[in-house]
């Protein structure tokens, strides 16, 4: 099963992708997580990506496409995968389609987690990310057992640099301009599925599993 997640920043793509990956035993590939891991490790890619990410801008397509295409060709992606945060522009979608076409494959589902802008800023300001393992929480909607400490690995939790309200506004406008057109792109391919992302996390997950099947 090859799935991509669409949705505004903070719509809950990562939250749902993680649950889907667990249930269907497929890799969860998040380009945002890949860039953040590179930043943490001080790689060249990380240094380049950071300058864009901190401004709420997209990292240029040429830094993203090859990385993802290489990743989905790996052995563990044979039975499918879930892409979270890619594609994010029409050229990225086209380059993925082209690469899959060359392998004789195609995507099965594009799941659009629909959340209006007015909910987003509130969600992002409450999000906390683990500096150790990258796990994501929310101070109200998904709290940790012990305040400020990751349930999974015990490391410290932080507010992501790009989750400050002014950067979130920029990310939202970039989303509307560059990523939202993908909804029509995948509608045209007949694989778009909308879910209401304003509902509780478990309700959203149920809606997604109804689409994907048991």
Binding of residue 10 to Mg ion (CB under 5 A): no
Task: Report DSSP letters for 15-26, one per residue.
Answer: HHHHHHHHHHT-
Tokens of residue 170, six digits: 């920029």
Q: Which is nearer to ligand AP5, 104 or 113 (CB)?
A: 113
Q: Which is nearer to Mg ion, 14 or 197 (CB)?
A: 14
Query: What is the spatial distance between Cα 95 and Cα 77, in angstroms, rounded to a whole number?
Result: 18
- Which one of 12, 72, 93, 135 is in contact with ligand AP5 (CB under 6 A)? 12
Q: Which is nearer to ligand AP5, 32 or 80 (CB)?
A: 32
User: Could you tell me the smallest distance in angstroms from the CB atom of residue 50 to ligand AP5?
Assistant: 9
Residues 29-88 touching ligand AP5, rule: CB under 6 A, are: 31-32, 35, 52-53, 57-59, 64, 85-86, 88
Query: What is the spatial distance between Cα 82 and Cα 95, in angstroms, rounded to a whole number?
Result: 17
> By three-state DSSP, how is residue 2 classified?
strand
User: Could you tell me the smallest distance in angstroms from the CB atom of residue 182 to Mg ion?
Assistant: 16
Number of residues assigned to the chain: 214
Binding of residue 134 to Mg ion (CB under 5 A): no
Contact predicate 191/107, CB 8 Å: yes
Q: Which is nearer to Mg ion, 14 or 56 (CB)?
A: 14
Q: C-alpha angle 63/127/123, rounded to 5°? A: 100
Query: What is the spatial distance between Cα 67 and Cα 45, in angstroms, rounded to a whole number?
Result: 10
User: Could you tell me the smallest distance in angstroms from the CB atom of residue 54 to Zn ion?
Assistant: 22
Residues 146-165 touching Zn ion, rule: CB under 5 A, are: 150, 152-153, 155
Interface with Mg ion (CB under 5 A): 14
């Amino acid at each position: 099963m090859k799935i991509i997640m669409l949705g505004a920043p903070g719509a809950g793509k990562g939250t749902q992708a993680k649950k889907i990956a667990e249930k269907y035993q497929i890799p969860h590939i998040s380009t945002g997580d890949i860039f953040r891991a590179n930043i943490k490790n001080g790689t060249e890619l990380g240094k380049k990506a950071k300058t864009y990410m901190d401004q709420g801008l997209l990292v240029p397509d040429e830094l993203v496409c090859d990385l993802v295409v290489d990743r989905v060709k790996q052995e563990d992606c044979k039975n499918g995968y879930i892409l979270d945060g890619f594609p994010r522009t029409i050229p990225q979608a086209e380059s993925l389609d082209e690469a899959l076409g060359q392998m004789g494959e195609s995507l099965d589902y594009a799941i659009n987690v629909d959340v209006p802008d007015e909910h987003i800023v509130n969600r992002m300001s409450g999000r906390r990310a683990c500096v150790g393992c990258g796990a994501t929480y929310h101070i109200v909607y998904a709290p940790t057992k012990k305040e400020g400490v990751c349930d999974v690995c015990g490391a410290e939790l932080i507010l992501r640099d790009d989750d400050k309200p002014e950067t979130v506004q920029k990310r939202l406008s970039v989303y509307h301009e560059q990523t939202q057109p993908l909804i029509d792109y995948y509608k045209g391919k007949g694989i778009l599925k909308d879910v209401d992302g304003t509902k509780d996390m478990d309700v959203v997950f149920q809606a997604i599993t109804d689409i994907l099947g048991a």
